[in-house]
Structure 1
Amino acid sequence: MDLHKTGDDVKEPFLTGLDFLPDGRLVAVDNNNKKCIILNERLQRLGTPYKLKYHPNCVVCMCHHTLCVTFGGGKEVRLLSVSTDNTITLTREIKTSSRFHSICCMSPSHMVVSTFDDPRPARMISVDGEESDFDHFLTFPMKSYKLDESLCTYVQSKNTLVLTDKLAHTVYMYDTVKGTSRAVTNENIQEPRGACVGPGDTVLVCSQNKHSIVHLRVDGDLLGTYRVDMKYPRSICVSKNDTMLALSGGTVGALKLHLYKISPQCVR
């Protein structure tokens, strides 16, 4: 789908966060127009978009139909609920001590977030608003990322934190139990952006300047690369049953949202 300004949009839609609900509906946050929208398997909008107060960065679906949204400017996270008739309502506002960018599920009650303008590039937050840090033995890059320079995901079954470093062209893999880490570099990884958990507890990463998706194991081994018909892919997510993949990106005037079917070969 090409993303064009429609209805009460002020600008061309810029989808910076994606995630699937358990029933297969796709949730997206539109940073330019400060909206949260629901789409079906044909990428048709369902219900009325929810208007947000600030420019959203990312969204994750927690248990049942609870969404958690991060924002660009302020130190705040908002919890939203989605009904079966596609009505979105605000359930809680959480003030935070850090600025959060990407957000992903760590457990039914906890999330992992990437930060910016903070010496701790990845942190944890509960649905009750309790913030915490990873154990000190994790060796993070000695720098504070700026907005859009680093994003994260978390592979729950492998206790693995994945952190992308756009300017270093690197994907970091951290075993949060053993305290080990690996820096993954490859000619196919150029300005990595969004990442998500893929089939079989693998990792999918948007390689922005290669206009492709890179498929990795948590040990850093490269499984493959997939060229996409989109410039500068940015945000990515996989459905709960590992059958669908959503991807957004593009350039001004040519922003896109793609939906892919995942073949059984990728799941094995």
Structure 2
Amino acid sequence: MAEGDSVPGRHLSLSSDEELDPDNIYRCRSHQHTHPIEYYCNDHKEMCCVKEAFDGHRPCKTTKIGELHQLEPELVDLPQAISRTERICFQSVTMKANEKLARENLNRQLQEKIQNIERLKKTIMEQLDAAKEDFQAVAARETKEGTLNKLDHMENISTFLDLSHSVSQGSDVTKKAIISLYLRDKAQEAKQNMFVNFEMEHTRQINMTVNRWLNRALTETTLLTFNSKPMPVSSVQFKLSVSILLRADGRWLNNEPLISGLDFISQQRILAVDNRNYKLILLNADLTIVNVHTFDRAPVDVVVIGNSAVVSIPGYQILEVFDITRDNRIVLKAHLPTISQYSSLCKFDDTSIIGCVLHDKNFIRKVTFCQHMTEIKENILRTPFPAKKFKISEMYCGYDQEINRLIVTDKQNAKVYIHDRSDDSLQTLIEKRKLVSPQGVAIGPFWNTYVCSEQTNSLLQFLPSGELLDVHPLNVKFPHVLRISDDRGKMLISNRRDGQRFLQVYDIVHWPDCISSNSETGKKAITNTGFHIIPLM
């Protein structure tokens, strides 16, 4: 590579002034903005000039910028890009204001705890001083009134011993007997009073009082905790836009459908896997069926990568890849035998997916697609999840590339496992009587985790910290499939109740007025509204 040429994927960074310069926006960063941008590298996902396309991206697949609106219209959809960027900016502003409030709250808690410690310190010292004075008073009284008098009495007994010696040398047997009996009684009395019989009961009470105060002080000091996390925020509303009752129609579907997998695809279309009728269903935005593909055995899940759809068929131990064309054709692209039986699927990146496999303790796999989605590489993804073998419909997975988090639901144990791959940590979410038979899972706005609780007919919303933020009742029985779009703008839900199976689309509405002014403090405050499900009118 000649001097001055750039390395693909390592473009020069722009300063703030350069980014705002319109001339620089349309010129190649790799060549100091001297060449106009004319090509887009599909492999490195970056724009470049003619020189860079031939020098740095020669082996890559490149497309002229002017032809992208015909070949990949979603990639250059400006209104969608503006909407997505506005949402990200809005989230950034919300989180920044939220973090400021969290810091102010932390400082306030800190000052309150310091004041509590000072008050506790003063109280303890007062108690210790009182205990010291009480102890000294008891000691003075006992030693003066009891023990010293008894010791003085011992001196009187010792003087009687002189008489005893003289009697013992005489011959009077009667006197000797009398003196012996007298000395025996006095010796017994002296033995009982030989040691200081100090009354300690009151002292023990003082010790108990002091220890109680000390234990309380240590306990309160140990339990001082400060919450520096942002306050729970979810400034969105979920508005039910379309809801259909799933029934056999005699044309596409012979039996009542059972949706086991859902995902979004370009042109506001939706893909659904019908496990009961062995179908891959393509629907438009109003949930009208536009095409179907029929399988030989029951499919379980679907995940979209670009304009291709990957379907898991664990009964045949295969993954099938389909191209979904703009004119709504479903074209089988590859029939890929697999080592494992894949059930739930989710997107990992532009060329890979994550799959949950059946009957294997190492149940997480990463599947990488090669050669234009016609070949695969399967690898065990090492996770801290408990080693357990799952059956079909006992687990669902979700992944978010931005925060690098992998989530798996465990239906039988009523748990949700969250693996933060950035630090290899594991969270286990358990909510008794609320999280019952967890099924579909997804990461939504503000990186909150949403889980379908099948037996409580609700959607649980968890903060990134793992704290339960809210429980949202659903108007369907036994919800089990959940998918949120990549732009966090829509949500799909389906259920498994016989005779009452629905497919529903929700619009995720971001409300700018969730950042409201607090009239009392004059500071910005975040309204913790959770989200509201607005019924379809």
Normalising by structure 1, we get a TM-score of 0.93
Aligned pair 1:234/2:475, yes or no? no
Give the counterpart of 1:175 among 411, 420, 425. Answer: 420
The residue number in structure 2 matching 1:84 is: 326
**Counterpart secondary structure, 1:251:** coil
The residue number in structure 2 matching 1:143 is: 388
The question of whether the paired residues in 2 share the 8 Å contact of 1:111 and 1:124 is answered with yes
The residue number in structure 2 matching 1:12 is: 256
What code does the residue aligned with 2:249 have?
Answer: T
Give the counterpart of 1:52 among 295, 308, 326. Answer: 295
The residue number in structure 1 matching 2:67 is: none
The residue number in structure 1 matching 2:409 is: 164
What code does the residue aligned with 2:267 have?
Answer: D
**Counterpart secondary structure, 2:449:** strand
Point out where structure 2 has 5 or more consecutive residues left out of the alignment: 1-243, 370-374, 512-529, 532-537
Between Structure 1 and Structure 2, the one with more strand by share is: 1
The question of whether the paired residues in 2 share the 8 Å contact of 1:103 and 1:114 is answered with yes
Point out where structure 1 has 5 or more consecutive residues left out of the alignment: none
The question of whether the paired residues in 1 share the 8 Å contact of 2:366 and 2:381 is answered with yes
Deviation (angstroms), 1:95: 1.1
Aligned pair 1:134/2:381, yes or no? yes
Q: Distance in 2 between matches of 1:169 and 1:155?
A: 22
Give the counterpart of 1:101 among 343, 349, 364. Answer: 343
Counterparts of 1:212-231 in structure 2, within 5 Å, are 212-231=458-477
**Counterpart secondary structure, 1:158:** coil
Counterparts of 1:21-40 in structure 2, within 5 Å, are 21-40=265-284
Percent identical: 27
**Counterpart secondary structure, 1:200:** helix
The question of whether the paired residues in 2 share the 8 Å contact of 1:24 and 1:239 is answered with no
Deviation (angstroms), 1:61: 0.8
Aligned pair 1:41/2:288, yes or no? no
Runs of 4+ in 1 over 6 A off after TM superposition: none
What code does the residue aligned with 1:60 have?
Answer: V
Deviation (angstroms), 1:43: 1.2
Give per-residue Cα distances to partners, 1:12-71, cap 9 Å, x unaligned: 11110000113321110111111111112211112x2111222110001112x1100001
Give per-residue Cα distances to partners, 1:225-247, cap 9 Å, x unaligned: 22111000011112233222110
Give the counterpart of 2:358 among 113, 116, 121. Answer: 116
Q: Distance in 2 between matches of 1:38 and 1:240?
A: 18
**Counterpart secondary structure, 2:300:** strand
The question of whether the paired residues in 2 share the 8 Å contact of 1:2 and 1:256 is answered with yes
Counterparts of 1:193-208 in structure 2, within 5 Å, are 193-208=439-454
Deviation (angstroms), 1:177: 3.3
Give per-residue Cα distances to partners, 1:62-81, cap 9 Å, x unaligned: 12x11000013121111101
The question of whether the paired residues in 1 share the 8 Å contact of 2:246 and 2:501 is answered with yes
CA RMSD of aligned residues (A): 1.6
The question of whether the paired residues in 1 share the 8 Å contact of 2:438 and 2:453 is answered with yes
Q: Distance in 2 between matches of 1:222 and 1:26?
A: 30
Q: Distance in 2 between matches of 1:223 and 1:133?
A: 33
The question of whether the paired residues in 1 share the 8 Å contact of 2:308 and 2:323 is answered with yes
Q: Which has the larger radius of gyration?
A: 2
Q: Distance in 2 between matches of 1:89 and 1:196?
A: 28
With CA pairs under 8 Å and 6+ residues apart, which has the higher RCO, 1 or 2?
1
Normalising by structure 2, we get a TM-score of 0.47
The question of whether the paired residues in 1 share the 8 Å contact of 2:385 and 2:426 is answered with no
Give per-residue Cα distances to partners, 1:124-170, cap 9 Å, x unaligned: 101231001223xx322122111111111111111111010001110
The residue number in structure 1 matching 2:510 is: 264
What code does the residue aligned with 2:285 have?
Answer: E
Deviation (angstroms), 1:252: 1.4
